[in-house]
Amino acid sequence: MDALQSVVTSAVQSGNHARLASVFSSEWTSLGQGEQRSLAAHFVKSAVSSPSFLPGAFRNPPAVEAVHAALKMLPPTVEGAADNVLRQKMFDFLLNDEEDYVAAARVLSTMRMEAEEGSPYYMPPQERCDVFVKVAECYLEEDMTVEAEGAVTKAGHIIEAAGITMADEGAVTLLLRYKSTYARVLDANRKFLQAAMRYHDLSTAYLHTDAIDADDLLSMLGRAVTCAILSPNSAQRQRVLGLVYKDERLAQLDAVPEFQSHSAVLTKMYLNRIVQKRELEQFESSLADHQKALMADGLTIVERGVLEHNMVAVSQLYASIYFSQLGELLGVVDGAKAERVAAKMIGDGSLSGSIDEVEGVLRFHPTKAKEESAMLHWDETITSFCVQLNKVTDAVR
């Protein structure tokens, strides 16, 4: 044991990576488990205290193997939490020098963190939260959404348990990164309605702070629009569309190449107007790959969303329509696909109507709210006519 410790000390000082690899791959197998843990701790402390060993050792595969072997065989506590120092140095190297986001996330996720003060591994809530946010950010760079969601969820638990708010010193930037990462995770997992609300909250919550640039806030608004449009048709979606539609910055998106078509499409959706095929294609060209996924019905997410919206918009204009005409009007599908979508929407209650398969006709059934709206509009029209007639009569007199 003492002989191997001397070998490790000498190898670290001289940078003999091959010798370290030999020790931690085969030579230490003759030791008992307790002695192996002590040797691993000795190596870790020597590595972080050496002025020349790191980060150069991270560029050498045998040395990296020795580091990983030692980190897997540590005692419950290493003096001065030297193993966490080593993990942090390795994370920084993998992230900044190698740009290996997955490896960096995996190293950082093994950090020992305890909430009990007095422990060598004690970390305050903000620091623990920062670790999990960094892990999630790294996984998102490689589209590993399941792993990212797990990490950002842990960060959220810490924020909630510790009651971290923007009023806390140094918490503004951390909360911004957490909320942004969480919104990206929801977006990547195609939970578009929740993502839209998160993105819009981000785009407004930091308007009057210096924590985020105005252009980045506008980009957040653009992402909110994207996700709102992609969301499944529902009453809650309509409320989110209205929230974004009433944002006075919406028109500014026309000047951003990535979001040029967004305000026009969202406006039509909120006002129940038909979205044309040209507008759909322009909008779809700006989407990320996960937002253009092909669904089981042969439609992309945005095609299905726009189709369902247009179906509701058509119901405001027609009492009945042939599916062949409906397909032409919608411009994105043929009559058969339009019929399948209509049947699904009628089945789940998002469209009130019936299908005549013999005639190939879709008949829309006016809802109570629609009837009341029509009657109210009729009453207002008659009232307006009577007022104008009275004015003309008074003028003639």
Strands ordered across the beta sheet of 320-322? 320-322, 361-364, 353-356
| Measured distance between the N- and C-terminal CA atoms of the chain, rounded to whole angstroms | 117
- Cα–Cα distance between 226 and 194 in angstroms, integer? 12
Structure tokens at 331: 């411009």
Task: Report how far apart, in Å, the C-alpha atoms of 22 and of each of 3, 10, 163, 294, 386 are.
Answer: 14, 14, 48, 51, 98
Q: What would the pLDDT profile of 189-200 be if each residue is shown by its tens digit?
A: 999 999 999 999
Q: pLDDT at position 376, please?
A: 47
Dmax (CA) of the chain: 119
In angstroms and rounded to an integer, the radius of gyration of the C-alpha atoms of the chain is 31
Distance, CA of 138 to CA of 128 (rounded, Å): 16
pLDDT of residue 383: 54
Q: Is 349 left (phi over 0), alpha (psi -120 to 50) or beta?
A: left
Question: CA 299, CA 330: separation in Å to the nearest integer?
Answer: 14
Calpha distance 268→275 (Å, rounded): 6
Q: Where are the beta strands (DSSP E) in the chain?
A: 320-322, 353-356, 361-364
- The C-alpha atoms of residue 266 and residue 238 are separated, in whole angstroms, by 10
Question: What CA–CA distance (Å, rounded) separates 342 from 334?
Answer: 12
DSSP E strands in 191-333: the ranges are 320-322
User: Is the pLDDT score of 30 beyond 70?
Assistant: yes
Q: Where are the beta strands (DSSP E) in 340-382?
A: 353-356, 361-364
> Which residue's entry shows tokens 């500014």?
252
Give residue 372's pLDDT band: very low, low, confident or very high (50, 70, 90). very low
Q: At 298, phi and psi to the nearest 5? A: 85, 0
Q: What is the rounded CA–CA span in Å between residue 176 and residue 182?
A: 10
Strands 353-356 and 361-364: antiparallel
pLDDT per position as a tens digit, 244-278? 999 999 999 999 999 999 999 999 999 989 998 88
Q: Which residue has the tokens 């006519």?
A: 385
Q: How far apart, in whole angstroms, are the C-alpha atoms of residue 225 and residue 204?
A: 13
- In the chain, the percentage of residues whose pLDDT exceeds 70 is 91
Between 382 and 89, name the one with better pLDDT.
Answer: 89
CA dist 174 and 192 (Å) reads 23
Q: State pLDDT tens for residues 121-163.
A: 999 999 999 999 999 999 999 999 999 999 999 999 999 999 9
Is 214 strand, coil or helix? helix
The SS3 of residue 364 is strand
Phi-psi region of 80 (alpha: psi -120 to 50; beta: other; left: phi over 0): left
Please check whether residue 64 is in contact with residue 57, taking contact to mean a CB–CB distance below 8 angstroms: yes
